[in-house]
Every structure is written in C-alpha cells, then in structure tokens.
C-alpha cells in the first residue's frame, strides 16, 4: 500500500471494522482464500463513520476544533506526518513479519505494525490478562472481517488467552419472541452463527458469558493493574483503564482480535504514563450527589478524548469502589465514552492511579471545567425528546447499559417489587428490561428465586442482549417509546433518560 493511502485510512483503523477488513485485503497475501474479503476497498458506509459529533468545546463553551481519533490517545491537530514513526521489532517479531510462522500471522503482524506506526508507536509490547472483543453483531457489513477470522482459525491461530465478547444483539428467548422481531433479526444478522462459531474457535467461552461488563465478578476478566491488554468496547476500555488500572487503547472492532492472535499491541497513548495524564480537571460542585450519566455526558462533550481528572465526588464512594457502588463509575464513564471518546478518567480518592499519585496526574497545561447544579441543569436541558410522538406515553423501560452486575440487578428487582407492594399493585404498567449476562441471570434465579419470580411475574425481563442493539433495530423508535437510566443508551438511540426514582414512577404509572 502506498503510504499516502494508509495515512488516509489511519483514523479508520482506530474506529471501524471496515478498516481492518480493508487492510487485510490490501496487505499482499499470495494465497487465495475463496472468501468474500479482499476487495481492498473501504465500504461506502465507512466513510460516514469518519464524521462524528465528538468535537470539543472549551471552557468558554466555544468549539476547540478538536475531534476524536477514537483510540483514546488524543491526537488533536494530528497530521499525516504524525504517522511517520518507525517500529523497531524484536527478532521474534521480525520473524513473524517475515512469514516464519505462516502467512496469516505475517499479515496480522503487518497490519499491527502499520496501525502502531500511524499513532507514533515505536515498539510492540507483550499482552497479559485476557482480551475483550466487541465484535458481536453478525451484520452483513462484517462478513469480510469474519472471513478474515475464519482464515486465521483455519490456520490454527488462537487468542493468547480465553477472551470475553460483548453481548449478542438480540434475545429471542426472553424479549424478541415474536414474528416481527424474528424477521428483523433474520434480515439484520445473517452472519451471527458464523461470528459466534469463529469466536468459539479462537478462544471465547460459551454464550452465557457474553457481556460488555466483562470485569464483573460473574465473568472475571479483571487483569491486574498495569497489565497491557487490547480491549475493544468503549465502556469496558473506559472502566478497565480507570477503575481497574489496566492499560489499553480504544480499538476499532477487529483490531483487538489482531492483537489477541499475536499477543502483542503497539505501545502508545493510554498505555503510556504520558498518555494517562489528565488535560482536564473536572471540579464537581453540585450540592447533592451528581446525576452520573449527565456528568459523564458533560465530561465527554467537554474533553472529547482527553483524560479528565474528576474531583469532588469522593464522598459518594466511601473510600473504595465496591460491587454496590461501581455502577456510578460505570454510568458516568460509559457516558464519557459515548458523548465523547474518553478511554480513561481519574476520580480523585476513588480510582487507583489518583489514589497513588494524586494531582500529579494533571498535565502541566490542564484546563478546569466546573460542574455545578446550574451546569447539570443546562446539560439535562440539551437532552432532546426524540420520540416521533413526543407527547405519547412511554412503552418500555431499559435498565443497564453497560450490563448490570448481580448486585445492581438485585437492587433494581427489589426497588421495583417494593414500589409495587407499596402501591398495592401486582404488575408494572409497562415492560421493564434489565440487561445482564446470562450467568448473572442464572445466579439471581438460584440465589434470589423468590424475588426474581415476583419481579418476573410483575413484568420484568432479565435479558442478556445489548440494550443499544435492541433499541437500534429497524423501526424500533416508531414501535417503542423507551425510557432508560443509561446516558450511553440515550446517546445512541431515541430512548429518553430519567433518574432512577423517576423511572420507578414511570414503571408503575406508565406515564412520564
């Protein structure tokens, strides 16, 4: 590939599966595979992925001109010249590149070297822990990427460790067990079986483990602090870097699998001490506990993909992150990663790095953003009502994006059942969906069977799918007027966002 062509593709490498597919096709590879990949062109749809609303605003509220590169490594103002780094490979890595371990691995290595050099990396590092993949949608546009994975699996390649994968995009057992949704699934995800199968061949465990919250106790993908990994899934990257202290950049779907099969990643951005410095001090001065999703949205819009250092919220965590309070970080962080492209945040007195290094984590030229009651209200005021029938009543409640852990799922079931009992009501007025991995659902059924049974008969479904995939289905916004506690889900769909207590009221009354 000519250098110029690659530089043009570089931002896509970080973002879109199409880019990995395109590179796989473009890197010289003599063997004919007979699959559909290898056109060498970025599909038309991918062009639009370069256009994003992830543009920064400065302290004065005016645009800064910064746009996200989607790696989590801020490259504001990056030019083609910034892709001029030259990777120094070890003898073993060079041997792989030279084809000593087969043509497939050589091709993966070439992709990884090109990707790293585009972001200024000069070396690869060995990965530890376990990978996490967000390649979870068996949509037609991923066919050539699935071809690539199949070719690797057929050549005997595997992830260096068993890895976790995002939730599947539908749940035909608990939610979409109706002909309309079945038809849409059949049309929308014709590659799902092939994708699930290749994940299985490359080292992913069974479908009961599928979740975006791969780090919760029931799944256990929690690498030690400081471990280099290659994770893909904005909310998992964001939580892992921040709350677990692991070191990963934000990868576009597919690139994490390239890293997983080589057991290596280029060292740059959020994997370095320098890249983990905070360019923003977020000074939270709300008179009560902030709304975590709104705070995260505000931070994402402000910082785009710079690292924020959040101060003023330590008292809401009682000194440590636990299974009972982690969801605050989850909802804040995932919103920073959805409204912006934040791959790492520090929370003073709460997350591991500021606990150790304090405000030394602030970059020299950091800016300050004050988030007070007035600012919170201003941000809430920007949350539009996108329902086609704006005055209609809500028709479904969505809890948990990212997925809930055991404690959060039980807490919601209790809150709902208690509210129903207090109101003397048997059932919720509209269906409620709580999103969690199947293993967590099973655990609740076993350990809290009475509560789970009562909640289920009242109208609550425990579902293992991706909330946003469900709410992004064709025609969904015309069929469903959803409400949610997830600012991430709100960011990507027509679903409206409300605080927890308000959601309970809505569940019981069916009214806003």
Note the residues at the interface with ligand F3S (CB under 6 A).
166-167, 212, 235, 334, 401-403, 435, 466-468, 488
Entry field: residues in the chain: 512
Handedness of CA 145, 147, 148, 153 (dihedral sign): positive
d(Cα 140, Cα 506) in Å, to the nearest integer? 37
The bridge status of strand 63-67 relative to strand 55-57 is antiparallel
Q: Which residues contact 373 (CB under 8 A, 6 or more apart)?
A: 286, 287
Cβ count within 10 A of residue 283: 14
- DSSP symbol at 391: T
Structure tokens at 281: 């001090």
Sign of CA dihedral 177, 183, 187, 190: positive
- CA 348-353-354 angle, 5° bins: 25
Residue 481 or residue 488: which is nearer to ligand F3S going by CB? 488
Tell me the C-alpha distance between 227 and 231, whole Å: 12
Residue 19 beta carbon to ligand F3S: minimum distance, rounded to whole angstroms: 20
Closest distance of CB 132 from ligand F3S, Å: 11
Query: Between 37 and 494, whose beta carbon lies closer to ligand F3S?
Result: 494
Considering beta carbons, is residue 259 or 401 the nearer one to ligand F3S? 401
Question: Which lies closer to ligand F3S via its Cβ, residue 151 or residue 336?
Answer: 336
Nearest distance from C-beta of residue 489 to ligand F3S, angstroms: 6
Residue with smaller CB distance to ligand F3S, 37 or 471? 471
Place of tokens 């579902």: 463
Coil/strand/helix, residue 293? helix
Element (H, E) at 378: helix 373-380
CB of residue 435 to ligand F3S, shortest distance in Å: 6
CB of 468 to ligand F3S, least distance (A): 3
Nearest approach, Cβ of residue 403 and ligand F3S (Å)? 6
Residue environment code for 323-332, b if the CB has 16+ CB neighbours within 10 A, otherwise e: eebbbbbbbb
The nearest distance, CB 423 to ligand F3S, in angstroms, is: 29
CB nearer to ligand F3S: give 401 or 432: 401
Nearer to ligand F3S, 42 or 344 (CB): 344
Q: 394 or 437: whose CB is closer to ligand F3S?
A: 437
DSSP per position, 105-124: HHHHHHHHHHHHHHTT---E
Q: State the minimum distance, in angstroms, from the CB of residue 198 to ligand F3S.
A: 19
Min CB(406)–ligand F3S separation in Å: 16
**Residue closer to ligand F3S, measured from CB, 112 or 344:** 344
DSSP 436-491: --HHHHHHHHHHSHHHHHHHHHHTEEEE-S-HHHHHTSTTHHHH--EEES-HHHHH
Instruction: Give min distance, CB of 449 to ligand F3S, in A.
Output: 25
Helix, strand or coil, per DSSP, at residue 397: strand
CB closer to ligand F3S, 420 vs 465: 465
């Amino acid at each position: 590939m000519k250098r110029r062509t690659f530089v043009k593709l570089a931002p896509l490498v970080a973002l879109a599966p199409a880019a990995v597919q395109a590179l796989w096709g473009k890197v010289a590879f003599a063997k004919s595979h007979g699959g559909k990949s290898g056109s060498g062109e970025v599909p038309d749809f991918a062009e639009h992925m370069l256009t994003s609303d992830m543009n920064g605003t400065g302290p004065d509220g005016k645009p800064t001109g910064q746009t996200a590169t989607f790696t989590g490594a801020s490259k504001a103002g990056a030019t083609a010249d910034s892709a001029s780094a030259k990777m120094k490979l070890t003898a073993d890595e060079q041997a792989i590149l030279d084809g000593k371990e087969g043509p497939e691995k050589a091709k993966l290595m070439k992709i990884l070297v090109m990707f790293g050099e585009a972001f200024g990396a000069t070396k690869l590092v060995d990965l530890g822990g376990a990978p996490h993949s967000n390649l979870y949608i068996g949509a037609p546009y991923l066919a050539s990427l699935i071809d690539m994975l199949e070719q690797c699996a057929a050549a005997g390649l595997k992830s260096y460790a068993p890895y976790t994968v995002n939730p599947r995009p539908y749940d035909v057992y608990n939610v979409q067990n109706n002909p309309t949704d079945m038809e849409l699934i059949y049309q929308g995800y014709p590659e799902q079986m092939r994708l699930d199968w290749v994940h299985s061949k490359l080292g992913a465990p069974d479908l009961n483990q599928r979740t975006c919250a791969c780090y919760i106790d029931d799944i256990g993908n929690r690498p030690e602090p400081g471990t280099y990994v290659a994770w893909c899934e904005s909310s998992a990257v964001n939580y892992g870097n921040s709350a677990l202290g692991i070191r990963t950049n934000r990868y576009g779907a597919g690139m994490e699998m390239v890293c997983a099969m080589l057991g290596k990643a280029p060292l740059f951005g959020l994997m370095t001490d320098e890249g983990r410095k905070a360019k923003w001090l977020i000074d939270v001065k709300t008179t009560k506990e902030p709304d975590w999703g709104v705070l995260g949205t505000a931070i994402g819009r402000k910082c785009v993909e710079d690292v924020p250092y959040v101060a003023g919220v330590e008292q809401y965590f009682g000194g440590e992150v636990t299974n009972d309070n982690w969801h605050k970080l989850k909802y804040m962080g995932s919103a920073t990663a959805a409204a912006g492209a934040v791959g790492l945040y520090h929370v003073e007195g709460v997350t591991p790095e500021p606990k150790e290094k304090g405000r030394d984590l602030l970059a020299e030229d950091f800016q300050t953003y004050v988030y007070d009651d007035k600012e919170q209200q201003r941000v809430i005021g920007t949350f539009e009502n996108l329902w086609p029938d704006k005055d209609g009543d809500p028709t479904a409640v969505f809890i948990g994006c990212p997925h809930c852990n055991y404690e959060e799922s039980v807490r919601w079931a209790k809150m709902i059942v208690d509210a129903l009992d207090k109101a003397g009501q048997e059932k919720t007025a509209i269906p409620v969906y709580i999103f969690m991995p199947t293993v967590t659902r099973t655990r609740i059924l076993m350990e809290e069977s009475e509560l789970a049974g009562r909640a289920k008969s009242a109208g609550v479904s425990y579902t293992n799918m991706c909330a946003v995939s469900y709410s992004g289905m064709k025609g969904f916004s015309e069929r469903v007027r959803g409400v949610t506690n997830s600012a991430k889900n709100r960011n990507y769909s027509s679903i409206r966002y409300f605080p927890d207590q308000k959601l309970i009221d809505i569940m019981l009354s069916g009214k806003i």
